[in-house]
Structure formats: C-alpha cells, structure tokens
Amino acid sequence: MPTATDFKDYYVTLGVSKTATPEEIKRAYRKLARKYHPDLNPGDQDAEAKFKDLNEANEVLFDPEKRQKYDQFGQHWNQPGYTEAAAPSSTQATADNFDQYSDFDAFVNDLLGRSQRRTRTTRGSDGGGFRSQAPAPDTEAAIALTFAEAFQGVQKRLQLDDETINVRIPVGAKPGSRIRIKGKGRPSPFSQQRGDLHLTIEVLPHFFWRFEGDDLVCDVPIRPDEAVLGAQIKVPTPDGSVTMKVPKGARSGQSLRLRGKGWALPKGGRGNLFAKLQMVTPQDLSAIEQEYYEKIQANTSFNPRAQLEEITL
C-alpha cells in the first residue's frame, strides 16, 4: 500500500487546479508532453520520468470515474477494495478494474486466469452455446511527432513501462489520429493477458504551416505593388516551393488555394494548401521609392474609407 511519501498529486503534476475542466486538463497535458517527450530530450532520464508521470496523471484525471475515485480516496484511490470505512483488501476488486470487463463472469475468469464456456439458449435452438474469454484491458498512450515525421511517416520506438515497442506511423498522420497496436497493451493484473495499445497522435506545432480541418494553411507576405499589380511569387509547401499567381487587386487576408499541395493523405494523394496573403509595407524606402509613393498618393482617386462617411449613431 502506498505511503504518504509515495503519493503523487496528479493535479500538481499537470499544473492544474482541482476544479479544472477536461479541456483544461487536456491542454495542460499536451503542452507538458511536448516539452518532456523523450524524442525531444534524448538521454534525459529526468525528462523521461516526468513524461511517464504526465501520462499517468492524464490517464487518471481525464477519465471521469478514475478522477472521482482519486478525489475521494486520495493515495488509496486505486487500492483493491478500499472504502472510507475499511482498509484495503487484496482479495477485493476495485470498480476501476471491474469496469474493464463485460460482466462479472468475465471478471472472475480473468481473475482466475481461465476461460470458461458459457451457454445461452435462444428461441428455436437446442441450447447451443459459445465460448467467452475475459478481454484484457486496453492501454491508452500519446506519441508526439514533428511535422516532418507525421507528413512522411516514420518508425518510432515507444517506451511503455519497462518495454520498448517499435511503432510504424503511417504517412499523413494528423493531430488526434489514433493507431491501434494489437497485443501491446499492459497485461491484465490477474491473467497477464495483454490488451491492445491505442496511440493518440500529437503533431508538434510548425512555425509556418498549421492545420485547419483537413487543410494546411500558411501566411504569405506580399508587397503593396504585388497586391495592386499582381505577381508570381514562391510559396513553400511540405515538399518544396511552388510558384503561385497573385491576382491583380489582391486583398490582405485573402486566401489562395494550392490544390494538392497540402497534407499527405493516408490513402494517397494530397490535400489542399491555403496561402493567406498578408500585405507588408516597406519601412525603409529608397529615394526613388519615396518619390513614386508620393506621386501615387498625390494622384490617386481611390478612397478605401469612402463607405465610412455614411456611418452614424
């Protein structure tokens, strides 16, 4: 049974209050998981231990039932049979363990490390039965990828407790994607049978591209003359730059679609990339630039604020 010194305050681990919402817990976990992920801290045992604690805290606090028991029983929340009126008993099962099974018979089967035949009678039959084996519990984990790893696909080594698992991430993994790895979950505490491992993909932010739904989006700066007269400009895509046409009279904030130049799709092909134009004015003008901008200002009839003249209370 854990002592007071063994107790881990999962709220402190994630840096959230005890009244934190599931969304706040999720955001805190993602932020810290990126910071302490072993792939970003190679050889740092402290970061690896911190990452393991974060996964443990998130697994408990993000699950409403586990969180309720953790809040109620504190350091004893996961001890078999613990209640407020009785000390823990190793011969009793917690509700948390039982919740992993379809019914009580399945739980008993797993507890005894056996599978039993169960017979159900249906109308029109002679009492034929079917075998039912208690399922082993599945395991949830998260894995953080760089943009390049998620776009191209990658082989990763994941540390789960004391075991190193090789994982193949397919091309085009996106934030929130889930990968199922059969038979690689944690073993049942009773039968030692292993469930499946479910990995949730986290994609680390990129400084230039970002996700909006199924598309990639980026901000592309243009000059005032390019917006007015139109231009051919270079735009970075995940697999190299392409030439994009800026139409005459382009507006700042306008999005231009580059078909098939966005995120890699798992079944082949590419999504779209949207280039959002951001007009940037020059700060240090040469003498001739200053002269021509003054001539434009003196001779233009365009008034972008004309509609504002009609605005009143």
Per-residue pLDDT tens digits for 87-135: 333 333 333 444 455 554 554 455 444 444 443 333 334 534 434 455 6
The pTM of this model reads: 0.55
Closest C-alpha to 185, from 138, 230, 217, 248: 138
102-119+132-205 and 210-294: identical CATH topology = yes
Query: HSE (CB half, 13 Å, CA atoms) of 20?
Result: 22
**218 confidence band (pLDDT: 50, 70, 90):** very high
Q: What is the distance between the alpha carbons of residues 56 and 8, in angstroms, rounded to a whole number?
A: 10
Please give the structure tokens belonging to residue 29: 């976990």
Return the CATH fold of 210-294: HSP40/DNAj peptide-binding domain (2.60.260)
Checking if the pLDDT of 211 tops 90, the result is: yes
- Give 3-58 pLDDT, tens digit per residue: 444 567 888 889 998 888 988 888 888 888 888 887 778 788 888 888 888 888 88
> In this predicted model, what pLDDT tens digit does every residue of 268-310 receive, in sequence order?
889 999 999 999 999 899 999 999 999 999 999 999 899 898 8
Q: Where are the domains of the chain?
A: 1-99, 102-119+132-205, 210-294
DSSP-assigned beta bridge partners for residue 139: 197
Distance (Å, rounded) from C-alpha 37 to C-alpha 143? 8
**Residue 80 scores a pLDDT above 70:** no
CATH class, 102-119+132-205 region: mainly beta
Which of 162, 158, 153, 151 lies closest to 181 in space, CA to CA? 158
Question: Cβ neighbours of residue 208 under 8 Å, at least 6 residues apart?
Answer: 218, 219, 236
N-terminal to C-terminal alpha carbon distance within the chain = 71
pLDDT for position 190: 67
Q: Which fold has domain 1-99?
A: Helix Hairpins (1.10.287)
